[in-house]
Amino acid sequence: MPSAYKRILLKLSGEALMGDDKYGINRNIVEHIVIEIAAVTQLGIEVAVVVGGGNIFRGMKSAGDGMDRVTADYMGMLATIMNALALQDAMKRNGLISRVQSALRIEQIVEPYIRNKAIRYLEEGKIVIFAAGTGNPFFTTDTAAALRGMEINADIVLKATKVDGIYSSDPKIDANATRYQHLSFDEAIAKNLQVMDATALTLCRDQKMPINVFSIFKSGALRRVIMGENEGTSVSS
């Protein structure tokens, strides 16, 4: 069965890289994520990734309490660059070619974000990892994922989390919580289900960019989403 998509934007939270650790990067989890991505690229899918930084910044939380919001946000952007480099290194070990592009200019370490160059890399079969969010404080990496997804003409934004979809309530607390198979953007916003932040959701809704929220920890889940199977929760108009 052919894939439902040709080019995807994978939003990978920093917390997903922690596994069960309190903060930092769990190497086994990163290896698992890379294997999941590799399985998708073998289908001929072009893959871009936006990575968060909460796993690293969480380790600095005590030092960051009371910090100026703009300063804290820039520190968070630097954390995403660290995660992007770790992800790129794991990809290299697994035979995948990737490029890191950053919204903040640190040219000794990563390339600056250039839209046309990112698209060319994708067309060449390389994985592009977008770091440093949008490069602006007050905007989350969810918003960066929505923005980059539209800029590179992705077919869908996939949000990889620890939970296998969007639930009516927290499944860790409520045994009766049910998973939604599909939601409209307006439902997700009105019910405040915390799929993504409101700015990202509104941007995707206005540009008709579909979203799927799924668990990156379930083996083969990313591939099943790509193949159009009933995996995670889809959000669309």
pLDDT tens column, 195-215: 888 899 999 999 999 999 999
Report residue 191's pLDDT band, with 50, 70 and 90 as the boundaries. confident
Which residues make up each annotated binding site?
11-14, 53-54, 58, 73, 134-141, 161, 167, 170
pLDDT at residue 72 in the model: 87
Arithmetic mean of pLDDT, 230-236: 94
Report residue 54's pLDDT band, with 50, 70 and 90 as the boundaries. confident
Q: How far apart are CA 137 and CA 128, in angstroms?
A: 22
pLDDT at residue 149 in the model: 98
Confirm if 8 and 48 have CB atoms less than 8 A apart: yes
Which residues make up each annotated binding site for UMP?
53, 73, 134-141
The answer to whether residue 101 scores a pLDDT higher than 80 is yes
Give percent above pLDDT 70 in the chain.
Answer: 95
Arithmetic mean of pLDDT, 71-78: 90
pLDDT at residue 63 in the model: 55
Neighbours of 194 (CB within 10 A): 12
Which residues make up each annotated binding site for ATP?
11-14, 54, 58, 161, 167, 170
More confident residue, 125 or 192: 125
The answer to whether residue 30 scores a pLDDT higher than 60 is yes
Confirm if 117 and 126 have CB atoms less than 8 A apart: no
59-86: burial string, b at 16+ Cβ within 10 Å, e else:
beeeeeeeeeeeebbbbbbbbbbbbbbb
Q: Is the CATH number 3.40.1160.10 carried by domain 7-236?
A: yes
The residues spanned by each domain of the chain are 7-236
* Range name among 158-167, 171-180, 217-226 with the lowest pLDDT average: 171-180
pLDDT at residue 163 in the model: 87
pLDDT at residue 60 in the model: 57
What does DSSP assign to residue 92?
H
**Mean pLDDT for the chain overall:** 91
Q: What is the dihedral of CA 91, 82, 153, 220, to 10 degrees?
A: 40
The answer to whether residue 10 scores a pLDDT higher than 80 is yes
The answer to whether residue 6 scores a pLDDT higher than 70 is yes
Highest average pLDDT, of 23-32, 111-120, 174-183, comes from 111-120
pLDDT at residue 159 in the model: 96
Arithmetic mean of pLDDT, 231-237: 93
Arithmetic mean of pLDDT, 15-33: 87
